[in-house]
Amino acid sequence: MSKGFTTRAISRRRALQGAAALGGLAAPMLNSVTAYSQSGGFDWKRFKGQEVEVLMETGPRADLMKKYKGEFKDLTGIELGIEVIPEQQARQKVAIELNSGKPSFDLFNFAYHVQKRQFEKGGWLLDITSWLKDPQMMPAEYELGDVSKLGMSFATTSDGKVNSLPILCDYFILYYNKDLFAKKGVAVPKTLDEMMAAAAKINDPAAGISGFVGRGVRNANVVLWTQLLSGWGQETIKGTKLITDTPDAIASAEYYKKLLSSYAPQGVAGFNWNEAQGLFIQGKAGMWIDATGFAAPIEDKTKSRVVGKVGYALPPSGPKGHGSVTFGSGMAIPKASTHKEAAYLTMLWMTGPKMAGRMLQVGGGIPFRTNPLKDPAVLAGLTIPREWAECAAGCAPISMSGLPVIVPVTEFRDVIGTALTNMLGGADPATELKRATTEFQPVIDKSEQT
Amino acid sequence: MVDVSMAEAGAGPVPQKGVEGERRLRPYLLFIWPALIVCSAVIIFPWLFTVWMSLHDFRIGSPMTFIGLDNYKDLATNRRFLESIGHTFYFTVLSVALPMVLGTLAALVFHKKFWGRGFFRTLFIMPMMATPVAVSLIWTMMFHPQLGVLNYLLSLVGLPPSQWVYAPGTVIPSLVLVEVWLWTPFCMIIVLGGLASLPSEPYEAALIDGASQWQMFWKITYPLVAPFLVVALIIRTIDALKAFETIWVICNGGPGTASETINVYLYNQAFAYNQVGTASAVVVVFFAIIVALSLILLWARQKAAWT
């Protein structure tokens, strides 16, 4: 069991992270129409005429950057080429090209929980620590102080260098169908026990209604389990030692097995987020725990049958803790880029407060900043309910890492994920977790040795 | 004297032994070089490089370390890899046998003359023309246990819903269903080509002798069309062993690892885990399996050839 999560009380580290995330309350209000020009020796036009190639993963943030790239050119005189490819392919492309030493891009976005450690060990990213402190390279309107400590900790390597800038974070929250809750007279669950009871009441297979829906498929399911595990005040790793077979880990896995086997739809062992989302937006599931980024499709009238009927709540607390697993993504420049400075300006623009506000408005994700979350101008432009933004802000104080920061994280998700999927097929949680832990520990040991 | 004059008169170059022969061949050896260079670059070098990498502990981003045959030893005891071999054969046997049987039956039907035959033949071969990835995406939606059309169709005839690719027990048969839909037309076309080329005399003789339809099929059609069936068998086996898109797009080798074939395991090792050394060892083992299977099939082809 992780020392910091032995009680239901919020640990000091998480309290600090959360306070930092919300700490921007005291920071000056962002004026979303601030005109970037010159400030304190900083000149946006300093690298005009250059071309920057950006690689982004498919999603709302890429759509937004493409939409406003003309505005960026007017501001800086830098031409952006934005290549957008699906997440899995982008991850492979980035790793292979960075390893080759001749990447085809000057700037790219990546998930910290998947590739941070790999890039750090490879030494492939540009160290921007000194630029962040240089007034000629850091405009005041960037509001670096508003970036949460959690975000900056993601962006900082183990030896204290900053080699990326955080752009978005995803908290895990509870989505619930207000109509189904009202019909059965169920209150919004605050604890895992209440959630199990609510799922049992709402579950009605004959009517095609499931009490709960969530990720059951190998690899993707691990993050739902680690969310539940946070209720036992535990993470998955301590130093380099896996703690996925402790009594608390087994108890949380038994909860996962019971919740999904008893109250989730048939075939949930093959469900990823998209299958779960498909069922939830059809109004066929009472609750769904997943990342904040899914509010946009839920509230899209062209795709969803539950527009305006969905409630957003903090994930329920467990017997020993209360957490919201958090995943961050950032932007980074390869060391081998030939347009480092222009790419850096692009990175400032993409991760800055103005674009963060726009991202929030379309429900594309939660920025690692607090000012946009309380800026009336930004909130007035929200295309999704304000309750969602408030819920996300409430997750900040209880946020915790959902996956270990190790190089073989995909393999970790596959091995533990297979164990979880097997449980949904009837296997014993203790046996499966012990087997998976024994199988994967040598992989971590080997990875950390090299 | 006569022999020499015949050769010089244009009967073609006569192979000559010794120094003289080598001297005459030397100018022509130059022409071999382009093909040799291309083959070396695209076949021989990658193959040797793969073998070399398989002898190293090599993860993208980490230094390479020579470890001899350790990757192979690990594979020999790796439960997931051994299971993937079983999944590969299970998937291959089903997705070769079923399209072969159904394709042959379809060919026999379409070989007969009936109204609208051309139209129905075209309709029948349409699945084969579709892109496997696009087809897989559509099947993924159809397989959905709650929102998919397949369970709706089952409900219309009073059958209980299936979990299709969402349960370990049914995932491989469900994937085979897609393969059958996709590749039965291919087997049909090959067998139909064979049927069209058969001579009519044996059938006329059989009719005169009073043979039944079944006797004519079993004693005449089947032996004569067997070489075509073997060709279809070889191509389908290679295709099924290589199958990746349908499995990856529909279920990623899941649920769990229930449909993880060697190809999917290999892909995960190379591109998800960046374990290039292990992936290379898998390639070498897979190559050996394919060579062994090819030799068996080629032997079968020799046996089935008309004599």
Domain(s) of CATH 1.10.3720.10: residues in chain B: 75-304
In chain A, the residue whose alpha carbon lies closest to the alpha carbon of B252 is: A218
Alpha-carbon gap: B41 to the closest alpha carbon of chain A (Å)? 19
Could you give the C-alpha distances from A295 to A265, A280, A361, in angstroms and in order? 21, 11, 11
Query: Using the 8-state DSSP alphabet, how is residue B15 labeled?
Result: P
Question: B75-304: which CATH architecture?
Answer: Orthogonal Bundle (1.10)
Alpha-carbon gap: B167 to the closest alpha carbon of chain A (Å)? 6
Query: What was the pLDDT predicted at A25?
Result: 32
Residue B282 banded pLDDT, cuts 50, 70, 90: very high
Q: CB-CB: which of A217, A269, A408 is closest to B273?
A: A408
Q: What is the 3-state secondary structure (H, E, C) of chain A?
A: CCHHHCCCCCCHHHHHHHHHHHHHHHCCCCCCCCCCCEECCEEHHHHCCCEEEEEEECCHHHHHHHHCHHHHHHHHCCEEEEEEECHHHHHHHHHHHHHHCCCCCCEEEEEHHHHHHHHHHHCCECCCHHHHHCCCCCCHHHCHHHECHHHHHHHECCCCCECCEEEEEEEEEEEEEHHHHHHHCCCCCCEHHHHHHHHHHHCEHHHCEEEEECCCCCCCHHHHHHHHHHHHCCCCEECCEECCCCHHHHHHHHHHHHHHHHHCCCCHHHCCHHHHHHHHHCCCEEEEEEEHHHHHHHCCCCCCCCCCCEEEECCCECCCCCCEEEEEEEEECECCCCCHHHHHHHHHHHHCHHHHHHHHHCCCCEECECHHHHCHHHHHCCCCCHHHHHHHHHHHHHEEECCCCCCCHHHHHHHHHHHHHHHHCCCCHHHHHHHHHHHHHHHHHHHHHC
A279 close to B (CB below 8 A): yes
Query: What was the pLDDT predicted at A4?
Result: 36
Query: What was the pLDDT predicted at B14?
Result: 54
pLDDT, tens digit, for every residue of B16-62?
567 777 788 888 888 888 999 998 899 999 999 999 999 999 888 77
Mean pLDDT of chain A: 88
Q: CB-CB: which of A270, A284, A411 is closest to B254?
A: A270
Residue B4 banded pLDDT, cuts 50, 70, 90: very low
Q: What is the pTM of this model?
A: 0.79
Q: CB-CB: which of B61, B161, B257 is closest to A121?
A: B61
Q: CB-CB: which of B60, B62, B166 is closest to A96?
A: B60
Alpha-carbon gap: A282 to the closest alpha carbon of chain B (Å)? 9
In chain B, the residue whose alpha carbon lies closest to the alpha carbon of A449 is: B62
| Percent of chain A whose pLDDT exceeds 90 | 64
Q: CB-CB: which of A92, A96, A425 is closest to B168?
A: A425
Yes or no, beta carbons of A269 and B166 under 8 Å apart: yes
Yes or no, beta carbons of B146 and A208 under 8 Å apart: yes
Segment among A4-13, A226-235, A260-269, B86-95 with least mean pLDDT: A4-13
pLDDT for A98 beyond 80? yes
pLDDT, tens digit, for every residue of B62-71?
788 999 999 9
pLDDT, tens digit, for every residue of A418-443?
999 999 999 999 999 999 999 999 99
Query: What was the pLDDT predicted at A447?
Result: 80
Distance CA B194, CA B210 (A): 25
Segment among A141-155, A301-315, B83-97 with least mean pLDDT: A141-155
Fold classification of A171-325+402-449 is D-Maltodextrin-Binding Protein; domain 2 (3.40.190)
ipTM associated with this complex: 0.73
Yes or no, beta carbons of B256 and A447 under 8 Å apart: no
pLDDT for B9 beyond 60? no
Q: CB-CB: which of B146, B271, B274 is closest to A279?
A: B146
pLDDT, tens digit, for every residue of A12-32?
444 444 444 433 333 333 333
pLDDT, tens digit, for every residue of B151-194?
999 999 999 999 999 999 999 999 999 999 999 999 999 999 99
Q: What is the CATH number of domain A23-170+327-385?
A: 3.40.190.10
In chain A, the residue whose alpha carbon lies closest to the alpha carbon of B276 is: A96
Residue A255 banded pLDDT, cuts 50, 70, 90: very high
Domain(s) of CATH 3.40.190.10: residues in chain A: 23-170+327-385, 171-325+402-449
Yes or no, beta carbons of B65 and A450 under 8 Å apart: yes
| Percent of chain B whose pLDDT exceeds 70 | 93
Segment among A332-341, B248-257, B293-302 with least mean pLDDT: B293-302
Query: What was the pLDDT predicted at B154?
Result: 95
Chains A, B: CB pairs < 8 Å: 94
Residues of B in contact with A95 (CB under 8 A): 60-61, 274
Yes or no, beta carbons of B62 and A266 under 8 Å apart: no
Q: CB-CB: which of A118, A266, A417 is closest to B163?
A: A266
pLDDT, tens digit, for every residue of A363-411?
878 898 888 888 899 988 988 898 998 898 889 889 888 898 888 898 9
Segment among A6-15, A46-55, A279-288, A353-362 with least mean pLDDT: A6-15
Query: What was the pLDDT predicted at A240?
Result: 87
* A 166-205 residues with CB < 8 A to B: none
In chain B, the residue whose alpha carbon lies closest to the alpha carbon of A419 is: B256
Residues of B in contact with A268 (CB under 8 A): 166
Yes or no, beta carbons of A122 and B61 under 8 Å apart: yes
pLDDT, tens digit, for every residue of A210-223?
999 999 999 999 99
Alpha-carbon gap: B110 to the closest alpha carbon of chain A (Å)? 39
Query: What was the pLDDT predicted at A10?
Result: 44
pLDDT, tens digit, for every residue of A131-155?
999 999 999 999 999 998 888 989 9
B65 close to A (CB below 8 A): yes
Query: What was the pLDDT predicted at A18?
Result: 45
Yes or no, beta carbons of B256 and A218 under 8 Å apart: yes
A120 close to B (CB below 8 A): no
Alpha-carbon gap: A274 to the closest alpha carbon of chain B (Å)? 11
* B 122-141 residues with CB < 8 A to A: none
Residues of B in contact with A271 (CB under 8 A): 166
Instruction: Answer yes or no: are the C-beta atoms of A150 and A169 closer than 8 Å.
Output: yes
pLDDT for A74 beyond 60? yes
Alpha-carbon gap: B169 to the closest alpha carbon of chain A (Å)? 10
Distance CA B244, CA A17 (A): 44
Residues of B in contact with A118 (CB under 8 A): 60-61, 274
